[in-house]
A and B are shown apart, each in its own frame.
Chain A
């Protein structure tokens, strides 16, 4: 696939607020041609869990997307007392498949758009290989350093759900809070300016501090362990039933619920070291099965995004009719 070389990105004005940073990244990646998505409406540990990354990495179809994903890591909660750690934070995720030859340059273009001149700031690509035991996924890439600070993870997916990635998806994950702290020169996440407009200045702390305090208390002290264990089993079972019905996407959501439930149990220290490994393997088994089911479902649709002739039944079949009548 030949990809047009983008013109050299002009140096942008550094975004002054948290939300302007999000706008700037959305605008940049929209101009690059990515599908802009909104966050997935379920709890997940990272933007990688969004179906727009995990599932779209499976199979031969091209895909590109950019979105903000709220990420929940219950064990990282610090009751709002640590200036750098949160149990709920934001990732800005970009995926392009196949990874274009100039994907690194495109990424560096986004830094220019944010006002970082690479001849002023020391930008480094430092080896960092990624592996997710729960997702049965791994890739090779870097963490990107800006004057010694890690601001992005960059990964070429090699395997997802145990399936080889052919073609390869390139994944770029910005840590929005860190980047914003750097841009705004503040020492605590809670001091970030979220917005500062005609209606006044609102900080990250105004928006999220109470949430950090209360959710930390829930994650570490109040989450009902027995009920969570029960839920884990129930979601696992539901996932398996949905897979038997050939419904990869609803099955995937049940896997996401398993994964988050596991994270909560982990935060409650309810899972011993040896058991921990077994739970990870249970989630991984689901992730693999979902990846395979998704591949099969796309295959039976004739991999529609490959741009070849659509197989009969996909355009004017019953699905299209029922959508019509549903309006």
Chain B
């Protein structure tokens, strides 16, 4: 089979930079899937992506589909012909579906009788005839948020399409996409080389680079920018701060990257460095430069899309743009500091957190209550935790956070420090949003931890109570992350909070605020209806939403342990969950003990024994006495087990009470030989009902101690 390289390029107007990598990947994947499902063998697939093009090169693509042997069984011969030997509809329909005449059909003998049979050859099609459909299909499947039309055509794409290259080897694949005939010429850079350039799959990348002023490969361009920006920063005596997402975005904005350094006035270095960084990164897509000690310098690096004939003009132009932006930020910094954070709290009453849940002020009051409760358990200073909670959202009302929402929390910290708040309070304002993503750091201060747990828990409870719990992939409030954050903090920082109680507390407060917000929203005449509505009634003993939230958080805990590569299986998790530990920390202690227990040589046999005991007790159709009566113990093995168990009972119970589950299980593990001897020598279901009941009581006592930590009967084996 002959093979040739294939090249497809869609030439467009400037594509959206943030979606470019995703579009490129999807285009290549779609073509790969199309080739595979057509049975076309091929080598490596390489994608190219620039602001003005999406392209894919397929190496060594088979020129033709392989021929396929077709074998199909038809109707039974008895059904294929009528009494007169004439073919029935079933027979002619089968022949037609095979594209064959009736006379061409063979027969096959099976145990059930003879059947019509078709054998044929499907001749493979030329790849060139299949490619337009494969490419079209891939384009149709691209993840495009909004497709657009242009001019008076009906074609739709991300941006208007101007040219299409489709080549199998050096031959143009005859077809038309977006009403444009495919050809063999691409175009170069919009300004440097905006003319047709003839290419082949093999020369595409090279020709674009040498005569088109285009670095077609996204990865190569990204690397070139990374290196260029890095070297320029070095020549300025610093280190460029290259955020990976920004690097991607800049790569998607240029075809011919040329880094140019610019400088802003030194006075802006008095701003918090994060503010300067946000200004130059977010608004201007520049790379900030730090000095060797990590301090911000007044340099920034922009990546221009041309090899300018006068780079100084590009530089001064960019400097002119950044100056008013930084001046704005400096203005915000100065004016924001004229008013203490605490004075902004009242205004939070007019900011909606979520329609049903009321204002941010209402949320902040709920969080303050929770934070104080958590602090009492966690060992944080409750007064500091409350103060931090009171100030937590005030920075949302500052001009700086209005302009740079991503600086929330951090600005709170700066402004609180400026106001002379306790350092731990100031730190907590920043830490309340931590951990921000999987694997992010946890708050360092104990007030910050209490606040962060309270803030997240209130959001989870509030959103559930408002009927907006996450479904499938939809999680607009980020509850999965919030729940995992809460769990990580309480487990890793060893805070022994009773989750169930805390959820109940949070839910009572949330329900009250939902009711208040509904009354506020309702026109006056509807107030009575709202108040009378059952769903706003006072929290019942068992609010079903509380249970739902607990389950939800426990599922996140399962993910934390089971998917988190922590040596915990889902059966182990279920065994502990069956005990419904009040706190995640207690949960953690039990899991650790269980993990330790399962590493003991006696574990497998004891787990099996527990399973057996659970079955026996479940099937026992009689009352089991609460206590073992020593006078009814007959067999040596059962006497031995009873006395060993009795000997351990007190110390195991006290270990359990202290949550020293590991020690408890280890002590119990010493019973193994006696348990084994019991099952070897003793018949539990003795004929004498009193003896039988006493044996069941012994087993129940044993199981009670064993499964206090985790329900061992749920373990496999």
Contact = CB atoms under 8 A, between A and B. Distances in A.
A and B: interacting chains? yes
Interface of A: 1, 83-84, 98-101, 104, 117-127, 129, 139-140, 142, 146-149, 156, 158, 165-168, 170, 182, 273-274
Given A120-B313, A147-B313, 10 more contacts: A84-B324, A119-B192, A119-B306, A120-B309, A121-B308, A122-B317, A125-B51, A126-B253, A147-B314, A168-B149
B317 A147 contact: yes
Given A119-B191, A125-B13, A166 B313 contact: no
Nearest to B162: A101
Contacts of B316: 147
A122 B314 contact: yes
9 contacts: A121-B314, A127-B18, A140-B159, A147-B314, A148-B286, A156-B148, A167-B152, A168-B150, A182-B317
Contacts of A182: 317, 320
A156 B313 contact: no
A275 to B, nearest CB: 12
B305 interface: yes
Contact of A122 (B148, B150, B305, B322): B305
Contacts of A127: 14-18
B146 A273 contact: no
A148 B302 contact: yes
A101 B310 CA distance: 31
Contacts, number: 104
B284 interface: yes
Ordered nearest first, which 3 A-B pairs have the shortest CB separation?
A147-B317, A167-B152, A125-B14
Interface in B1-41: 13-18
Nearest to A123: B191
A84 B309 CA distance: 30
Contact of B352 (A122, A125, A273): A273
Given A121-B308, A122-B308, A125-B13, A148 B160 contact: no
A284 B676 CA distance: 81
Most buried by B among A124, A142, A165: A124
A126 B148 contact: no
Contacts of B190: 118
A219 B654 CA distance: 76
B317 A124 contact: no
A190 to B, nearest CB: 14
Contact of A147 (B16, B159, B321): B321
A323 B191 CA distance: 51
B151 interface: yes
Interface in B293-350: 302, 304-310, 313-314, 316-318, 320-322, 324, 350
Nearest to B331: A82
A129 B304 CA distance: 22
Contacts of A142: 14
Nearest to B283: A148
Nearest to B159: A140
Most buried by B among A99, A140, A146: A140
Given A148-B284, A156-B148, A119 B352 contact: no
A99 B151 contact: yes
Interface of B: 13-18, 51, 146, 148-153, 159-160, 162, 190-192, 253-254, 284, 286, 302, 304-310, 313-314, 316-318, 320-322, 324, 350, 352, 521
Chain A contact residues: over half helix, strand or loop, or mixed?
Answer: loop
A127 B51 CA distance: 10
A118 B162 contact: no
A142 B190 CA distance: 15
B308 A119 contact: yes
Contact of B322 (A119, A148, A165, A167): A148
Contacts of A147: 313-314, 316-318, 320-321
A159 to B, nearest CB: 10
A98 B151 CA distance: 5
Given A119-B309, A122-B304, A158 B314 contact: no
Most buried by B among A83, A119, A139, A147: A147
A296 to B, nearest CB: 21
Contact of A167 (B18, B151, B305): B151
Contacts of A118: 190-191, 306
A168 B156 CA distance: 12
Contacts of A100: 151
A125 B302 CA distance: 15
B17 A126 contact: yes
A1 B149 contact: no
A140 B324 CA distance: 28
Contacts of B192: 119
Contacts of A84: 324
B306 A122 contact: yes
Contact of A148 (B18, B159, B317, B521): B317
A99 B308 contact: no
A301 B314 CA distance: 52
Nearest to B13: A104
A127 B14 CA distance: 8
Given A104-B13, A140-B159, A121 B317 contact: yes
A223 B352 CA distance: 27
Most buried by B among A84, A125, A148: A148
A100 B152 CA distance: 9
Contacts of B307: 119
A188 B80 CA distance: 92
A84 B325 CA distance: 11
A118 B13 CA distance: 16
Contacts of B162: 101
A148 B321 contact: yes
Contacts of B324: 83-84
Nearest to A100: B151
A101 B13 CA distance: 10
Given A118-B191, A148-B322, A1 B317 contact: no
A99 B153 CA distance: 10
A127 B285 CA distance: 13
B314 A101 contact: no
A117 B160 CA distance: 25
A158 B305 contact: no
Given A119-B306, A149-B321, A101 B14 contact: no
Nearest to A147: B317
A146 B313 CA distance: 11
A125 B305 CA distance: 10
Most buried by A among B149, B190, B314, B350: B149
Nearest to A146: B317
A117 to B, nearest CB: 7
Contacts of A117: 309
Contacts of B320: 147, 149, 182
Contacts of A122: 302, 304-306, 308, 314, 317
Given A120-B309, A120-B310, A121-B313, A148 B149 contact: no
A101 B308 contact: no
B146 to A, nearest CB: 6
A121 B17 CA distance: 21
A214 to B, nearest CB: 24
A142 B16 CA distance: 9
A118 B324 CA distance: 24
Contacts of A149: 317, 320-321
B150 A156 contact: yes
Nearest to A170: B150
B517 to A, nearest CB: 11
A103 B611 CA distance: 77
A92 B523 CA distance: 45
B148 A124 contact: no
Nearest to B355: A274
Contact of B149 (A83, A104, A158): A158
A111 to B, nearest CB: 11
Contacts of B146: 129, 140, 158
Contacts of A158: 146, 148-149
A99 B150 contact: yes
A307 to B, nearest CB: 13
Contacts of A119: 191-192, 306-309
